[in-house]
C-alpha cells in the first residue's frame, strides 16, 4: 500500500478511536425523528434526558408506553468525487486504467496533468 494512504488511514483510525474514548456524539434533531413504534431502547428505567444524550441517544418522553431514551437513526452519507484537482488523494498507481480504478471503488478523471487521475471519494453527510 502507498505510504501516503497508510499515513492517512492511520490518522483516521487514531481520530476514530479517540472519538470513541471521549464518548458518543449528540445526535441531530433529524436523527431523532423516529416513530414511537420504531424506537429501540437505548437507556435504562429512570434515565434522565442529560444521561441519555450523553450516551449518544435521543430522548423524548411525550409518548407513554414507548422508549423515551432511544437509538438515533444512522447519519446519511454520500460519496462524491472532489471537483478540485488539488484535493485529490491518490488511490491508484501510474498507468492505472479507468476500469481498474473504478474496480477499486475510486474516482477516475484523466485530466489535468500533474495530479492523481485515480483518487478517493469524499464522504459528505446529508
In the chain, domain spans: 24-74, 77-125
- What is the model's pLDDT at position 2? 63
The sign of the dihedral angle between the CA atoms of 53, 62, 48, 36 is: negative
Fold of domain 24-74:
Spasmolytic Protein; domain 1 (4.10.110)
CA distance between the termini of the chain: 31
- What is the model's pLDDT at position 85? 93
Burial of 91 (0-12, 13-18, 19+ CB in 10 A): buried
Is 77-125 CATH 4.10.110.10?
A: yes
Tell me, rounded to whole angstroms, the distance of Cα 103 from its chain centroid. 22
Q: Which helix (H) or strand (E) holds 80?
A: strand 77-80
User: Which three cell numbers mark 123?
Assistant: 464522504
pLDDT in tens, 86-125: 999 999 999 999 999 999 999 999 999 999 999 999 988 7
pTM (2 decimals)?
A: 0.49
pLDDT in tens, 41-69: 999 999 999 999 999 999 999 999 999 99
Asked if domains 24-74 and 77-125 share a fold, the reply is yes
pLDDT band for position 4 (cuts 50, 70, 90): low
Nearest residue to 104 (alpha-carbon basis) of 115, 116, 113, 112? 116
Amino acid at each position: 500500500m502507498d505510504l501516503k494512504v497508510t499515513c492517512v488511514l492511520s490518522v483516521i483510525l487514531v481520530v476514530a478511536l479517540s472519538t470513541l474514548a471521549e464518548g458518543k456524539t449528540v445526535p441531530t434533531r433529524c436523527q431523532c425523528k423516529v416513530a414511537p413504534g420504531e424506537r429501540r431502547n437505548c437507556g435504562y428505567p429512570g434515565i434522565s434526558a442529560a444521561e441519555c444524550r450523553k450516551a449518544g441517544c435521543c430522548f423524548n418522553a411525550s409518548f407513554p408506553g414507548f422508549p423515551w431514551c432511544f437509538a438515533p437513526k444512522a447519519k446519511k452519507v454520500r460519496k462524491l468525487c472532489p471537483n478540485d484537482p488539488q484535493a485529490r488523494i491518490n488511490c491508484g498507481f501510474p498507468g492505472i486504467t479507468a476500469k481498474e480504478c473504478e474496480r477499486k471503488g475510486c474516482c477516475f478523471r484523466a485530466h489535468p496533468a500533474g495530479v492523481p487521475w485515480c483518487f478517493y471519494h469524499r464522504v459528505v453527510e446529508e
